[in-house]
Amino acid sequence: MTPADAAKLQALSRMKLLATGLLIVMALIFAVSFALQGRFPWLEYVRAASEGGMVGALADWFAVTALFRHPLGLKIPHTAIIPTRKNEIGATLGDFVEENFLSAEVVRDKLASVGISRVVGGWLAKPANAGRLTAEVSAGLTGAMAFLDDDDIRAVIESLARTHLVGRDWSPQLGVLAAKVLDSGQHHHAVDLLVDKTEEWLVANPDSFSDAVSKRLPTWVPSFVDRVVDDRAYREALKFVQAVQADPDHRVRVALDDYLRQLAEDLQHNPVMRLRVEGVKEQLLDDPRIRDLAATAWQSIKDALLASLADPASALRVTLESTVTDIGVRLGSDDVLAQKVDTWVEGAATHLLSSYRHDIAAVIAETVERWDGDETSQKIELQVGKDLQFIRINGTVVGSLAGLAIFTVAQGLVSLAG
């Protein structure tokens, strides 16, 4: 029993003692007035009042007690109503909540009167609240990451890759994409970059180029011939690259364009080329190094994410907090956005209630059904029993006044008849 329940039980006990005490007082008054009414006739009025008070107190005691248990342990019909009919009460309560609290109209009117976007926006706009929400989100994500198994994640990534990469023929899409790039001329930037980098390397590394040429000459060629050949080959190569670099319509560029266009065409329509591409793709994805790279990438992402979530000063946390604050400010100042959010929330709430309100209300009935009958009676009596004791007290008072009034009227009629 919680401290609050203990306090309610103590208050209930005090009210029961008070109501029972009033009944005892009425009984004592009745006994004294009944015994002395022959000597003191005016005590007949006191007797009638106390008699009515006892009747009222006993009747209301019976009524209140019959809700929770059998009075005096006697199994009188229609007593112990709550423990014997708890299932019907739970079902009725669930229906009442469903019809009066979970209706779409009630929720829509309540949300419209509250202005949920303004309330939420005002709360989020406060930096302290934004920081608190960010911390809670970070803690939730950290907890979720702790439950994730790395092997399972890698298996999921591999399964997705096989489904969407290996399991699909990407050649037609690659061919269409390549054709679009060629038509737009965007590939010329890549060609220019490649030619520029080649020219820069030749200018900066003449000795490396010469060494590469010399190694391919026969060993019996004299050294001075090597130098002549190396120098001539280097100058011709540099001259050729610079010519390609300077002429947008150079035959190498034209040949490269023709090759790329044919490749794009073959990717879309040539079965042999498509089979070759698929074979290369499968070899790449089946390479253990690629798998190791995916595993390493996942671990790196996970470690970086956990470190960022744990550090309040990290860029991720700071960005998330500033984004939350900005959303709150916009909700409070942008009427159009606020109206959209309110409309969306109202629509979502009414849709959920229309679809699940019966299931939500059924929780009440199912919960009450699982309760023990005596336990249910005790729970309800603990919550409302104190107020029900006022019925006994009021019954005692009203019964006394009614008894006195009835006796007075009867005496008056007897006097008039005499």
Global confidence as pTM = 0.49
Q: Within 13 Å and on the Cβ side, how many CA atoms surround 281?
A: 17
What would the pLDDT profile of 235-280 be if each residue is shown by its tens digit? 888 888 888 888 888 888 889 888 888 888 888 888 888 888 777 7
Phi/psi region, residue 72 (left: phi>0; alpha: psi -120 to 50; beta: rest), is left
Percent of the chain clearing pLDDT 70 (strictly above):
87
Report the 10 Å Cβ neighbour count for 320.
20
What would the pLDDT profile of 370-395 be if each residue is shown by its tens digit? 877 887 788 888 888 888 899 999 99
| pLDDT classification of 99: cutoffs 50, 70, 90 | confident
Mean pLDDT across the chain = 83
Query: Who contacts 68 (Cβ-Cβ below 8 Å, separation ≥6)?
Result: 80, 82, 83, 377, 378, 380, 381, 385
| pLDDT classification of 212: cutoffs 50, 70, 90 | low
Instruction: Please say if the pLDDT value at position 24 is more than 80.
Output: yes
- Cα separation, 390 vs 397, whole angstroms: 10
Looking at residue 397, what is its pLDDT? 93
Integer CA distances (angstroms), 76 to 62, 81, 330, in order:
11, 11, 66
φ and ψ at residue 350, rounded to 5 degrees = -65, -35
13-22, 180-189, 284-293: which has the minimum mean pLDDT?
284-293
**What does the angle CA 164 – CA 169 – CA 173 come to, to the nearest 5 degrees?**
95
What would the pLDDT profile of 283-332 be if each residue is shown by its tens digit? 666 666 666 666 677 778 888 888 888 888 888 889 999 999 999 888 88
Instruction: Please say if the pLDDT value at position 333 is more than 90.
Output: no
In the block, tokens 């060993």 appear at 219
